[in-house]
Structure 1
Amino acid sequence: MVHALAETESGSLLLIDLDDFKAINDLAGHSAGDMVIQHMAKRLRELRPAPKLAARLGGDEFALFFEPLPDAQLLQTARLLCKGDRDRHVATACVGIAMTQPGCSTESLLGHADLALSQARAKGRSNWHLYNPADGTRESLLDRTEQLALITDALHDNRLALFLQPVMAIQAAQTTHYEALLRVRMPDGQILPPAPLIAAAEASGLIRDIDQWVLQHAVALIASRPGLRLAVNLSARSLDNPELPALLQEMLQQQGVKPQQLILEITETAALNQLTHAEILLTGIRTLGCKLALDDFGVGFSTFQYLKHLPVDFVKIDGSFIRTLDHSEDDRLFVKALVDAIHGYGKLAVAEYVENQAILQWVTELGVDYAQGYHFGRPQEVDTVLAG
């Protein structure tokens, strides 16, 4: 690839990395992984205009070089490659884009595209990023360092807080439990957006301490409110901790809390990235009596067969499919298929991002069991939510 690029003059390099390819191989076998690769290769051959160069760099990575294209056409191509195609069994992907610059060597061009791909992956599945010298690694690291300092100080100064959002049983039309969501306060009382702070904590490993803080305070809150049930989020890093079940058991016993009052949520991505490990750990937690939920279900390519391996009680359908139910027939069909799969494995379906009556009506018709979103209440401070 390096030698081939050296013969080009100007244009754009796209690096493509398939989402969840390891999980596809692990869950459905290498023949399924080979099929995914073949479908992606066919998609690349069908691109118009055709790339000047195309190569498979490794197991699930491809590279394309295009001669100069209009910006809109280049970005349209990147978005197409990100999206995947469920009907054609084409996986979603992350795409890093770098454009040739005056005096830019082949190695630099590859390096820029690789950096852009890393930044696309950091955004999550099915994302693209265009390399820009102004947003290079140094600036990203400085921003992340600042975010890490903010959340570290908040943890040490006891400025973390739990906000609660209700989760409703649709048929009974009543709140059955609340999701406890982490918030960070500044010294002046301002609440900071949590996503970049949590991302910085995950990258540094501080998230383990934050997970423990959340668990301790959630269990203490349950102990102070008889009958309260809370769902809390566990980071992917917590799945690496074999002592977690024992730690949970100690917390629950010290506070006199019944395990059934605590629901632990992990994301689909975290579970798929370490499926065997997750299955063992979650089984240990389930043995205690705690309930389990799988979050962000349905994003990206998946056979859903892994559901039978995970001992979860609730499966939360990703909000990107729910918020469009009132105007997207495709998403209605897809959500119906997800609900059928969830129920087929003996689990309960939860819809996130239910923000109005129209969406609530659709999730009800599609057979969803629980709903959560602004239609029922925004995340608010504990005293406000539980005032009654």
Structure 2
Amino acid sequence: MADGPQGWPEVSSILAALGRAAFVWDVASDVMTWTEGAASIFRDIEPASLATGAGLARLIEPSGSIRADILLGTAPDRRPGEGVAYRIEYGVRASASAPMLWIEESGCWFAGADGKAVRVEGIVRLENERRARDEQLVRLSRNDALTGELNRTHLTAALAAALEEAARYRSSFAFLLFGIDHLARINDAFGFDVADEVIGEVARRIRARMRGGDVLGRFSGNKFGLILMNCTSDDMHVAAERLLAGIRDEIVPTTSGPVSVTASIGAVLAPRYARTADEAINRAQEVLEAAKSRRSGSFAVWRPDVARDAQRRTNIRVTDEIVTALNERRILTAFEPVVDARTREPAFYECLVRMRQQDGQFLLAPDVVPVAEKLGLIRLVDHRVLELVIAELAEAPGVRLSINISPETTMDADWWAAIESLMGAHPGVAERLIVEITETVAIQDIDGVREFVTRLKSFGSQIAIDDFGAGYTSFRNLRRLGVDIVKVDGAFVQNIAGSPDDRAFVQTLIDLARRLDIKTVAEWVQDEQSAVMLRDWGCDYIQGRLIGLASPARPWSGSEAIPAA
């Protein structure tokens, strides 16, 4: 290095101790003068390369123009000798194979009489550690920490970019959404660390079978999204089978032992069947769920479906109508009698939801409840029905009513708060209320339903299991739950007169329930012959077309009170 101005030895030692070096660059001669600390910053770079501005510029990647940027402007309003501050960052390499050195440079350039730079004085320091931290933060913001693949945000952005490119060049591509099958079982059996190993290995297997230019990202916990660029429908099918085989055919080694894994794929061809990123993702998720429900390790492709689209339009319409009906108090109840199988006297009435439309027509429970459950509105509907039923019980002291509760409502804190408040305000009502829960709910969460049953019975209410027989709940579970009534699924009852199998099944259920001192209700009783059979088998109550279907009229008005069972 050339000798610097007087006093530089002292400055040089101080800067070197701080990991910095200073320089003076005479622009006219292109000579650069450095303090001796420069050698420790520009490691493995020949001093001769730093002796001139042009020499240093040749080391900068991707080009040397970055240093020239500080000299492009002029400062005509500056007096000669007055400095203009600047700060730049750049990378330099000693050779093509050498590691990159990231340099931060700051200082002042000084203008001559014409306002152009004649001298530059600056300080440099090595910024590799900070740069590495910044790059790591960028990677973390862009990539999934577990797999190193794109995260959901950047995968979605890549999908949007692929759609724009496909539209511009009139090409097509496929979006594949992978779902690792039964990952929750691996979590339960081995722990989350092993599940993470499986996720990482599945990502590696997908990447190993990708083409150059395809884009992979982790969409969510057990899902990956893959963009197959310039892909036809046939290409998509071939790629999907290859990818599924790559995941399925080899056992995944983990720290807890080998694990067998399969994945399912839902795919959509874009832009033919998806014009936006959200549309592509939604349709791929839709067919992925269909593939999983059909068979683990399968592949499904989204195709237009007139019936499905019509059903969705109906769902949207019904959803709007449900919300409006709730606001306008057009959610009502109809009452279906449940009678004693021997005397045919009413025992209680099942309250079924009805929704009066703007034109005065009614939507029945099968039209309202499934949509409300799917879209998260059922707890509002159940809350309204509870209010209506409690009001009916309060006005008719001798009547017993039953209501159906959806699965979500059994855990709804607002529903519990409402029932506690309503029963507190209307003493004697709880003992005449029967709450029906479906058998499928009971068998999915025995402990949770048992707590629900215990809590309701503490009020004095009774519990019925609806659609009994559809889920094959064991009678041991019925005893554990402490239910009072089982309602035999109408699918088995409606044809007992003509089906020996249904007769044997229903008769067995009634007999076992009687032995456990649980009352039975046979649903969907169609004819007198079936009613007589049920009575002779010991069934306690019957309901259905033979007895009378649900009606908004209050059949107990003007009649004798129904005795408590």
With the shorter chain as reference, the TM-score category is 0.5 to 0.7
The answer to whether the 8 Å contact 2:439/2:473 transfers is: no
Structure 2 residue 349 is matched with structure 1 residue 178: yes
The answer to whether the 8 Å contact 1:296/1:317 transfers is: yes
Query: In the alignment, what sits opposite 2:482?
Result: 311
**Residues 114 and 321 of structure 1: is their aligned pair in 2 closer, same or farther, counting only changes over 3 Å?**
farther
Larger RCO of the pair (alpha carbons < 8 Å, separation 6+): 1
Q: Distance in 2 between matches of 1:132 and 1:385?
A: 53
- The alignment covers a number of residue pairs equal to 286
Q: How does 1:274-313 map to 2 (within 5 A)?
A: 274-313=445-484
Query: In the alignment, what sits opposite 1:111?
Result: 266
SS at match of 1:143: helix
Query: In the alignment, what sits opposite 2:227?
Result: none
SS at match of 2:506: helix
Q: How does 1:181-260 map to 2 (within 5 A)?
A: 181-242=352-413, 244-260=415-431
Deviation string for 1:130-151 (max 9, x for gaps)? 9863158766544322221111
Consecutive unaligned residues of structure 1, counting only runs of 5 or more, are 1-16, 23-29, 31-100, 123-129
Give 1:172 deviation, angstroms.
3.1
Give 1:387 deviation, angstroms.
5.5
Per mean C-alpha deviation after superposition, the further-off stretch among 340-349 and 164-173 is 340-349
**Residues 347 and 251 of structure 1: is their aligned pair in 2 closer, same or farther, counting only changes over 3 Å?**
same
Q: Distance in 2 between matches of 1:119 and 1:365?
A: 45
Q: Distance in 1 between matches of 2:287 and 2:429?
A: 47
Structure 2 residue 487 is matched with structure 1 residue 322: no
Q: Distance in 2 between matches of 1:131 and 1:240?
A: 35
Structure 2 residue 519 is matched with structure 1 residue 364: no
Larger Rg: 2
**Residues 131 and 352 of structure 1: is their aligned pair in 2 closer, same or farther, counting only changes over 3 Å?**
farther
**Residues 192 and 118 of structure 1: is their aligned pair in 2 closer, same or farther, counting only changes over 3 Å?**
farther
**Residues 134 and 363 of structure 1: is their aligned pair in 2 closer, same or farther, counting only changes over 3 Å?**
same
**TM-score, normalised by the number of residues in structure 2:** 0.46
More helix by share: 1
Match of 1:144 among 295, 310, 315: 315
Which AA in structure 1 matches 2:234?
G
Consecutive unaligned residues of structure 2, counting only runs of 5 or more, are 1-180, 190-231, 242-263, 268-283, 294-300, 560-565
Match of 2:441 among 263, 270, 289: 270
Which AA in structure 2 matches 1:331?
D
Query: In the alignment, what sits opposite 1:161?
Result: 332
**TM-score, normalised by the number of residues in structure 1:** 0.66
**Residues 360 and 143 of structure 1: is their aligned pair in 2 closer, same or farther, counting only changes over 3 Å?**
same
RMSD: 3.3
Which AA in structure 2 matches 1:111?
G
Q: Distance in 1 between matches of 2:291 and 2:525?
A: 28
Which AA in structure 2 matches 1:226?
P
